[in-house]
Structure 1
Amino acid sequence: MTNHLAELSELGVSVWLDDLSRERLEGGGAQSLASLLAEDHVVGVTTNPSIFASALSEGNRYDADLAALAADGADVSTAITALTTSDVRNACDRFLDVYERTGGVDGRVSIEVDPYVAHDTEATIAQARELWKLVDRPNLLVKIPATNEGLPAITEAIAEGISVNVTLIFSLDRYRAVARAYTDGLERAQLAGVDLSTIHSVASFFVSRIDAAVDAKLDALDDDDARALRGEVAVANARLAYEAFEEIFGTERWQALAAAGARPQRLLWASTGVKDPAYPDTRYVDELVTSGVVNTMPEATLRAVADHANLRGDTVRGRYAEAREVLDGLERLGISYAEIMDALETEGVKKFQQSWDQLSERVETGLQAPGRQ
């Protein structure tokens, strides 16, 4: 049976897994990182607070570490940092061969700053520095949200040589601002004498959450034109982001940086698990194939793609006019693109904060287990 993940990789899409746990790191079987690397062409990992909260609730692989942290008198924040950086460091080591083989492009593992500092530039910068130092691996990406306050933090982190995964990008304007923040950081790094070839970044452009939000508004209109746009906006938005990528990383300004060793900030398709069962479960992979991008998938999507993806070559380039018509159609129906994207960013930060709260509660429970006080 054909594993379509191999075909996807050959088309230039880097396959990353949107999940990490101690079970994947230490266990065996098809779900282990070792198997995913060897059999399923997975070349990177992304994490977020909800992923770690889920990992802490599975089995007892964290019990020994929690007991040791409790014995040392660690508070919840210290324990979270210790547990998450340990897992990410070990995952970085598992992907080191991929990192070296691809010249640092893949083999990347992400860890996110505390979402409660998403609107605090200085606190975000401080956490990015701390995580970079604690994990201490060249293939780490520190995740910084693309809030207004996150943009200068991205520039500062890049200027200091910290590789960054910019998360929670929804709108085209915000994506362009993220790319500017990256470029500004590289120019500062160059002036400081940092080797630009050592700095990497991805821009995590969210997909399925957009359709979930837009479709609800389209359904409320009960109109043929609205029904025709159902499930089309997220893909159109992502395709136009790639058009912007081609424009931004084709300028003379960028060419000067590239000549000095700079790497383009790749687009990463995030939130690619289908939320509406009416859509094919591989939709946000099949429709966003082009070379030089990343698609990070939850395991269910990864397995679906391996089994029955409908890959048809490049499905992004050359479809920009069609994509613009979709977004224009949305505005003609009186649905504000800008309002939806702003709401999704606000909601995204809140969701990560809620997941952080769950993670904190689970760590606190683990620290207070009988015999650990």
Structure 2
Amino acid sequence: MHCFTYRHLLRPTYQLLACALLLTACGSGSSTSNAQNNLTGTSDTTTTALAPIPARITNTRGALLDGTLVKTNTVQESTAAISNPTAKAPAVIPVYDVKQYRVTYQTLDGDGKLSTASGIIAVPQKPTGAKSPLLSFQHGTVFHNIEAPSNDTVATSPVNIIASLGFVVIAADYIGYGASQGKDHPYLQKDPSAVAVTDFIVAAKQWLAEQRQPLNDQLFLTGYSEGGYVTLAAQQALEAAGTPITASVAGAGPYDLQYTLDELLNTKAILSAAGGALGLSRPDLAAKYPGKVDEATVDLLMYILIPKESDIKFSKTFLMDWMANDYPTMKNNSLYDWQAKTPTRLTHGRDDDTVPFGNSTRALDGMRAKGTSNIELDECFAIPADHTGCIKPYAQVMTQYFSTFAKDL
């Protein structure tokens, strides 16, 4: 299912990489009244003149292919979903019915080849012509295709809950899920993770324009666990391209890959236990290349870490990098020491044994050292403050923080 439920998490420590290697393994300008509108059920129904529909781009990144209505969730269904005592959704009041559309588009896979991918677009059912802010939600690690956003359209999904508040919500399935199932999922690889999201934003805007669904000028990014990592990857790429982002909230992501894998593998002695039993050892840099016998260690760990029932293929590149002590590549795929221009909030719990808490403190310190002026860490104090226990607090921080910026809800 989704990041607001248990299934979206990189699993507890022993199943570590199964989840946490995570194979392990989730503008400005508004006012307090926007937040109050969100909670009371009122909304700004400002309309705008319809702009010309742009011509579709074809056979390139971000090209829109198709879109199909797959589910409608009513306000009553969304309210019931939030009221469920086991729900991980924030304490909000749904305002709108939501129609969800499965959309296909073109992006690059982990090998840089143009591929067909998919995602979901959730549209709150406002009066005709009413504008909405756009929010891109990045999902956490899941091991079954049925849990990808375009397949997980139930009322309890985070995409639906957020859309019921007045955001148009989009969520890329990522390469390896949905329309691209069967391809390797480029797990914890920064560039292909970002590209899947940024290309879907392009395609989604085209689809929304063709549907005469107006957006305002706001863009929000959020995600938890792997989704937190992908959120910062997409944010970095969008900022580099000059695309304005209103605000970003990333929860419990593995932003420093070397630190994360060292903590999860070395300190837990997983490598020693697995490799020692077969007489294998941590290889050197040459083992990154196909055909080296030491690659058997990586294959063994992947076998141990990924649930046997998983129907998703995970790329082992991130683990090969770590096993080979390829520090430059791990650094290039990390997201803890760059200058962000967007107002950014991180959330995390100290008892997280799936994605170590130090990821967020290292990102906070590293990004501030690079000149990021508007970034804070909201520590989760749930009991327990572990990976699962901190999902709902993340969702609460996200909705409350975004409500201070959002217009036209």
TM-score band by shorter chain is 0.3 to 0.5
TM (normalized to structure 2)?
Answer: 0.30
Larger strand proportion of the pair: 2
TM (normalized to structure 1)?
Answer: 0.32
Larger helix proportion of the pair: 1
